[in-house]
Structure 1
Amino acid sequence: MKILVTGGCGYKGHVLIPKLLARDYEVIAFDLQWFGNFLEPHKKLTVVKGDVRDIESIPLTGVDCIIHLSSIANDPCGDLNPKLTWEVSALSTMQLADKARRTGVRQFIYASSGSVYGIKEELQVTEELELKPISEYNKTKMVAERVLLSYQDDFAVQIVRPATVCGYSPRMRFDVSVNLLTIQALTNGLITVFGGNQIRPNIHIDDITDVYLHLIDHPELGGIYNAGFENISILDIARLVTRHVPAGIAVTESNDPRSYRVNSDKLLATGFRPKKTVEDAIGEIIEKYRAGTLRDEDHFYNLKWMQQNDLAK
């Protein structure tokens, strides 16, 4: 099988692609590489530096499956340049789907976001609830989903709405809640929590990448799937970190009202089972940091790096 992974040099791509190669798939990692490329060379891996907005530069000849991870990731980054966000995350998805149809791609797996639900009071946020996205990032994800669903007669369309991903990756991200609170404890001895009562769903990076493998194995599982297994408040995540790292917790006001839980029973009903927890992610980050494998570096913060390098043009 030949698989194209857009955004292949990102946080999830660096964990997913070695798993695809271990299955003996031929893999193309397509990425603009704003944050670098830490993928190990492999005889079945081709890394293409390119922009998804340039649809002609995306190699689809012989590709059986697309795993579309590429986007301007998270709300603050998406708000830096709304036009860029719409072009990358919505328009490019439509163009990629159309090219996939014309070139005979059989399967299209799309990384949407659990944040498309917006602010929800329901204790069980299922795939059937109304979407109320509140940022450019969320809105483009919702629109891209709708576009892809219109291609269901042309190829298998599988849409994943991940919770907040946590855990170690060679292309680390310290701008997501679990990872951020853990690195704060390690480097400052103090965790700053904004608000704290907001509930956020979480999923370990090994589990979300295994979700994509599960869907590759089951192209008949079309449609939309939530993927999040631990709904925890931000303050409780901080407390969990302090079980492993001696650190204080400072709580301050937040202007981020997002609070939501996700229910992933639909995914579980397909036979998928998560293997790791938020606490596993915290422990793995601590281990990598103390071993010197992981450092607190600017390019692991999407917003900071984009602003420093004027990337949101």
Structure 2
Amino acid sequence: MKVFVTGACGYKGSVLVPKLLKAGHKVVAFDIMWFGNFLEPHPDLTVVQGDVRNPDAIDLTGVDAIVHLSSVANDPCGDLDPKLTWEISCLATMQLADRAYRHGIKRFIYASSGSVYGVKEEEQVTEDLELLPISEYNKTKMCGERIVLSYKDDMVVQIVRPATVCGYSPRQRLDVSVNMLTMQALMNGRITVFGGDQTRPNIHIDDITDLYLFLLDHPEHTGVFNAGFENISILDIANLVTKHVPAEVIVTPSNDPRSYRVNSDRLLATGFRPKKTVEDAIKEIIGMYSQGQLKNEDRWYNLKWMEKEVVK
């Protein structure tokens, strides 16, 4: 299968693309490369530096499936330049879905976000609950979902609402909770937790990328799927880190009491099973740091890097 992956050089894409190649797919990796390109050359890999906002840069000739990962990721970055966020995460999604339809492409996987629900009091946040997004990022993801779902009669549409992803990637992120707290412990011997009682759903980067491959292999599973397998508090994450890195945990007051939790029973009913945990992610990050393969760099923090290099 020839798979067109947007955001292919990002945090998830840098792990997904090698897995697609290993599975025997041909891959077109499309990315604006704000954060660089960490993909290794491969005979079946074509890397294209391009902007999803420019339809003319997107060549879908011979493409069988699209995995649409690209967006302005996370709330602070989305709020940095709302116009940019809407253009990339919503308008470009509309243009891409339309081009896919016109090219007769029958498979479209869309990476949404578990944050589209907004703040929910329900213990079990299922796919059927009302979406009440708060930030620009959440809102554009909800709109992207609606756009892609409008083509469900013309192509296989599979939408994933991932929890917060954790673990190591060649294009690392150190601004997501598990990775950030682990790095704090490694660098400072101290972890600062704001509040601590807030619950966050998590998914290992290997599991979320395995899920995209699973969906490519199983077109019979269509619609929207939550993907998050560990709903644990920020303080619990910090305590997990201290099992492996000696560090002091400092709890300070937080003005953000919001908790997020997701129920992934619909996904589990397809037969998909996660293989890794938050603790696995912590241990892997520690290992890469200890080997000198992971350093604390500005480009691993999306907001810091975008303020410096993108939105000036």
Instruction: Please say whether Structure 1 and Structure 2 have the same fold, judged by a TM-score greater than 0.5.
Output: yes
TM-score w.r.t. the length of structure 1 is 0.98
Partner Cα separation in structure 1 for residue 195 and residue 306 of structure 2: 26
Partner of 1:97: 97
Partner of 1:252: 252
Listed as ranges, the matches of 1:236-251 within 5 Å are 236-251=236-251
Listed as ranges, the matches of 1:67-82 within 5 Å are 67-82=67-82
Partner of 1:66: 66
Aligned residues: 312
Partner Cα separation in structure 1 for residue 20 and residue 281 of structure 2: 21
Partner of 2:266: 266
Partner of 1:155: 155
Q: Deviations over 1:27-68 (max 9, x none)?
A: 011000000111000010011001000011011111000000
Contact 1:227 1:267 in 2 (8 A): yes
Q: Is 1:52 paired with 2:52?
A: yes
Partner of 1:30: 30
Listed as ranges, the matches of 1:1-313 within 5 Å are 1-309=1-309, 311-312=310-311
Partner Cα separation in structure 2 for residue 253 and residue 300 of structure 1: 26
Identity level (%)? 74
Q: Deviations over 1:118-175 (max 9, x none)?
A: 1111111000011111100000000110111100011110000000000000000000
What SS does structure 2 have at the residue aligned with 1:206? helix
Partner Cα separation in structure 2 for residue 150 and residue 75 of structure 1: 26
Partner Cα separation in structure 2 for residue 292 and residue 261 of structure 1: 34
- CA drift of 1:256 comes to 3.1
Q: Flag as ranges the 4+ runs of structure 1 deviating above 6 A.
A: none
- CA drift of 1:103 comes to 0.5
Partner Cα separation in structure 2 for residue 277 and residue 285 of structure 1: 13
RMSD between aligned residues: 0.8
Matching residue's letter, 1:102 = R
Where structure 2 has 5 or more consecutive residues not aligned to the other structure, the ranges are: none
Partner Cα separation in structure 1 for residue 286 and residue 106 of structure 2: 40
Partner Cα separation in structure 2 for residue 254 and residue 131 of structure 1: 25
What SS does structure 1 have at the residue aligned with 2:18? helix
What SS does structure 1 have at the residue aligned with 2:27? strand
What SS does structure 2 have at the residue aligned with 1:168? coil
- CA drift of 1:253 comes to 2.6
What SS does structure 1 have at the residue aligned with 2:219? coil
